[in-house]
Structure 1
Amino acid sequence: MSGQGSGGNVIAALCNIFFPGLGQLVQGRILAALIFAILFFGGAALWFLIVPGIIAAIVYVWAIIDAARYRS
């Protein structure tokens, strides 16, 4: 991937829209992908406690931005 704004980063950001962490996995960052997926799905599973749901929403947006701004 060339860097920020490259086609690969755009594809990775779009992948994160459908499944948080997938964009990081596409970029080859396995640990970051696992962390984003676990934080998002853990928070989403506990949505009824309100705070984990808010954290899940923040992690969701953070994963998209992280994939779009990644520089190798």
Structure 2
Amino acid sequence: MIGTQMAGGRIVRSEVLSIYNCRVQSMMSHLEILLGEKQSSTVTKEKLPKLPGTEGFVFTLIEDVFEPFYELGEKVFAG
């Protein structure tokens, strides 16, 4: 299966999905499975946020895919 480790660490971000979908469509166009032109990437250079130690992470006891409600670097508040 294509993309089983598309982002690694069982984390899916909307930016990663956008890049992944673009690349899959380009590959399918190249293989003449899809008609149309290859998509260009929308990758932008992003700043790495400073994390506040362990409070900047989410821990879980189960194994599954984690889909966050907020984008990386977006401000969130407890409660």
TM-score of the superposed pair, with normalisation by structure 2: 0.33
Greater Rg, structure 1 or structure 2? 2
